[in-house]
């Protein structure tokens, strides 16, 4: 059985901040893996209102992170976090399954 990724309290806290401005339409963070990017695969992170029927839902502090079943094997043992740096703030995926990644942190290979 595949284990879903870990979502840090910092990521859930940022999602709660985003949803505080969207109280009438709270959104979940979808984390998906798609083919493409400069290393073969890329992360697709976006906000969605409704999970799909077959999504894996990770929930804490009233917030949800959605993973589709096709992406789950690529995200096993990964950590979804939120970081704030001089170049900007963003959700990031720390993936121990990735054998290489590009400088942007969005593209990786396995």
Tens digit of pLDDT for each residue in 56-99? 999 998 999 999 999 999 899 999 999 998 878 889 888 887 76
Q: How far is CA 20 from CA 24, 90, 95, 109, in A?
A: 9, 17, 29, 35
Q: What is the DSSP letter of 52?
A: -
User: In the chain, what are the domains?
Assistant: 6-104 (2.60.300.12)
pLDDT number for residue 108: 47
Tell me the whole-structure pTM to 2 decimals. Answer: 0.85
Contact yes or no for 109/39 (Cβ under 8 A):
yes
Q: What is the pLDDT of residue 110?
A: 46
Q: Is the pLDDT of residue 19 over 90?
A: yes
């Amino acid at each position: 059985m595949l284990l879903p990724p870990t979502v840090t309290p910092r990521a859930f806290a940022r999602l709660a901040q985003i949803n505080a401005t969207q109280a009438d339409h709270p959104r979940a963070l979808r984390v998906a893996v798609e083919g493409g990017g400069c290393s073969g695969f890329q992360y697709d992170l976006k906000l969605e209102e409704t999970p799909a029927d077959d999504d894996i839902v990770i929930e804490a502090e009233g917030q949800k992170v959605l993973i589709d079943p096709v992406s789950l094997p690529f995200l096993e043992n990964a950590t979804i976090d939120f970081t704030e740096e001089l170049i900007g703030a963003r959700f990031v995926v720390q993936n121990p399954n990735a054998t290489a990644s590009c400088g942007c942190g969005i593209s990786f290979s396995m």
